[in-house]
Structure 1
Amino acid sequence: LFTLQGAPCGQHMRICWDWRLARVLDGDGEIVDESIWDGRRSPASVAQRISRLTAGRMTDEARRLSERFPDAVPTPNYDLAPGEWPALDADETELIQQASLLIAQEGVADAAGDPDRRLEHLVRAGDELKASWTTLEARVVEWAGLFLPELDIDAERSRIPSALASASSLEDAAAVLGTVPAEAGISDSEWQALCDWSEGVVEVESRIRKVEDATRVLTLEHLPSTSALIGPLLAARLSTAAHGRMRLARLPSGTVQVLGAETSFFLHLRSGIPVPKHGHIFQHPWVCRSPRWVRGKISRMLSGKISICSRLDAFEGQPWGDSEVAEVEARVQEIRQRHPKPRRR
């Protein structure tokens, strides 16, 4: 049977398409109708059509056929039997290779302009530098302590690397730090090694500052409200932990509260340990400087405000200012005053 338009009736029809053409096939694999792209075939135009297909969109040829055959079922080409879809010829293969290269270049360019990807690199780079600095700094402090036995290491710890790096001798470094060197002294070769190590610590400190400065600039632009509330460095860390600004905006506040505490959370699920009350947001002074028995309450309140700010950032709402942040701080003080002592169990 046929309809008035000439389309087969009562058969299972399929519509398939790629960047070259679109076809309507009947249940036996016979071509019912076909529409071939007649545009100019260049690598740029092919790349545009492939990108459209990758996004799940129809080509113009497929759309016209779907309007002509509304009952035809969209079917991926890979579900067709061998021989039901035309293979690429040599020219088409060369053309699609050039188009694939253009798509890859556009993808790299898009990634370079993605603030979320850039923030991730900055945060990870800062973490790696801090891990290296911790090891290097501990080594130079312990090493210098052997030759400066009377030095108050706890009080002067932050000055030791820079004092050693800028001094020409152990005696000069001791004078800068307000102490006296050990009577045993130090050999020239060991002093040079200690100086080089100290210079490395100072250099890593400088790199950390530069990375953090770049993080602040990018986060203030990308997450203005969240940065105003909790600071740009912590805002960048939360966004990275959530895998981007948009995903952070879509997370419930309870998840935002424990971002960074995934290990403890899964231990809770597996072993029954208490649920973690906070993750990265513990770094904020409102949480870490509060009594331990109110940290959970403050974390819960703060995570709700962070969720609001992240949605303002993601959907380009009116950024928060000092007045909104002051209201949240007043809420923190209210929680502290309402719970001056831990609750009796």
Structure 2
Amino acid sequence: MVLYIYSNVIGSFVFNTGLRIIDQTLFDEEDTVNNAINLNNNEWLEEEKALIKKHGHKIIYLGKKKTELIETSKDNRFELVNERISEIPNFYQLMRKAGIIIAKHKIKNSVKQDTLVIQAINNIDELDRVANTLVKRLREWYKLYLPEFSKKVRDNEKFVELILKNKKSELLKEINISSKKSMGANLAEADTKPIEELAKRITSLYDLRESQSQYLELIIKKTYPNMYAITGSQIGAKLISFAGSFEKLAKFPASTIQLLGAEEALFRHLKTGAKSPKYGILHEHPLVTQARASEREKVARALGDKISIAVKVDFFNGKFIGEKLRNYLEKKFIKKKK
């Protein structure tokens, strides 16, 4: 008599010629994930081998396997087989438990390096927004105390650093204004202390941003060396973030990479016929910012092309060619500019 064997995520089952279950081995919880992976890869399970040994070799596996341990069959009666399996006691509870175990495993293993990159660059962007908002408030507040200094120092980080390190008299000397000519109010120490506290908090945000940037550069440089060689850490991370994952970025053509970050302008162009964007986040790249306005589209197109190559090489773990690609771009555009 010919028997059949079939497996799913809860166990392995032996059927007679009438497709009635005559033997079964239900999987232990700790084996559920590995068995599900092996089934997906068409590998033989230990439970299947044990049942084959128990019932002899006159047994046919219903489905595909990579190796011919026994005869396999592409039988089209899987609906009936699954119906028979669903009749075993506690079937739905077992399927639910196995589904939860497998889902947890997939969620746990879905966190990859590009996921960390996206979180890091999003955090850096949010720190920038928060710090800029607070600096704006600090400048308005400090203008009550020393308005001339706020106008003189445009760099936000330097502004915060200087007001923390120097007293009002020292800052007045730095901008060559006497205290009598200053329009700032003479605030008491109790009134200037909250301003200093705000400046200290902003400094801590700058420090946090710096540490996050160092972490981002480390992970980008190590994981995506070819892309890093061309884009650096910040632009490379933003490209991954706009794409949604590094795998998606690797699948994009160069023209799409060129426009990443300009989605709103692109949709506006498609909807209203407004001017089409020429580049997205690549406008932050030094080669684009330093190029003449008439040549920026050309530079962005070349950048998108080389980034596309670098990303694909990184995705497939190819050799390091980032320096070669970067040198080509620098030689072509920096030399031309000179």
- The TM-score range, normalised by the shorter chain, is 0.7 to 0.9
Tell me which residue corresponds to 1:132.
130
SS, match of residue 331 in structure 1? helix
Provide, for residues 214-271 of structure 1, a one-character-per-residue CA deviation record: whole Å limited to 9, x for no partner: 0000000111011111212211211222222222111100100001111111111111
What is the alpha-carbon distance in structure 2 between the residues aligned to residue 336 and residue 23 of structure 1?
75
Contact 1:43 1:95 in 2 (8 A): no
Tell me which residue corresponds to 2:265.
264
Cα distance, 1:153 vs structure 2 = 2.1
Tell me which residue corresponds to 1:44.
30
Contact 1:43 1:96 in 2 (8 A): no
Provide, for residues 290-340 of structure 1, a one-character-per-residue CA deviation record: whole Å limited to 9, x for no partner: 222211111111100000111111111111254442221122247658xxx
Q: 2:148 is matched with which residue: 147, 150, 158? A: 150
Cα distance, 1:69 vs structure 2 = 6.8
Q: How does 1:77-96 map to 2 (within 5 A)?
A: 85-89=86-90, 93=93
Cα distance, 1:111 vs structure 2 = 4.4
Letter in 2 for 1:43: E
Contact 2:250 2:311 in 1 (8 A): yes
Contact 2:9 2:95 in 1 (8 A): no
Cα distance, 1:279 vs structure 2 = 0.6
What is the alpha-carbon distance in structure 2 between the residues aligned to residue 57 and residue 270 of structure 1?
48
Q: CA RMSD in A?
A: 3.7
Letter in 1 for 2:35: R
What is the alpha-carbon distance in structure 1 between the residues aligned to residue 203 and residue 274 of structure 2?
41
Contact 2:310 2:322 in 1 (8 A): no
What is the alpha-carbon distance in structure 1 between the residues aligned to residue 105 and residue 7 of structure 2?
28
Q: How does 1:183-202 map to 2 (within 5 A)?
A: 184-202=185-203
What TM-score results when the alignment is normalised by the length of structure 2? 0.78
Q: 1:214 to 1:178 in 2, by over 3 A?
A: farther
What TM-score results when the alignment is normalised by the length of structure 1? 0.77
What is the alpha-carbon distance in structure 2 between the residues aligned to residue 94 and residue 84 of structure 1?
11
Q: Establish whether residue 118 from structure 1 lines up as the match of residue 119 from structure 2.
A: no
What is the alpha-carbon distance in structure 2 between the residues aligned to residue 100 and residue 289 of structure 1?
53
Cα distance, 1:197 vs structure 2 = 0.8
Provide, for residues 129-178 of structure 1, a one-character-per-residue CA deviation record: whole Å limited to 9, x for no partner: 011011011111222122113326243543221233345x5445555776
Contact 1:47 1:103 in 2 (8 A): no
Tell me which residue corresponds to 1:104.
104
SS, match of residue 31 in structure 1? coil
Question: Number of matched residues?
Answer: 316
Q: How does 1:309-320 map to 2 (within 5 A)?
A: 309-320=310-321
What is the alpha-carbon distance in structure 2 between the residues aligned to residue 249 and residue 123 of structure 1?
19
Give the percent of matched residue pairs that are identical in Structure 1 and Structure 2: 18
Cα distance, 1:94 vs structure 2 = 7.4
Q: 1:175 to 1:52 in 2, by over 3 A?
A: farther
Cα distance, 1:52 vs structure 2 = 4.7
SS, match of residue 73 in structure 2? coil
Q: 1:20 is matched with which residue: 11, 35, 51? A: 11
Q: Unmatched 5+ residue regions in structure 2?
A: 49-58, 65-70
Letter in 2 for 1:133: A
Q: 1:34 to 1:287 in 2, by over 3 A?
A: farther
Contact 2:13 2:24 in 1 (8 A): yes
Cα distance, 1:287 vs structure 2 = 0.8
Tell me which residue corresponds to 2:52.
none
Greater shift in the superposed pair: 157-166 or 238-247: 157-166
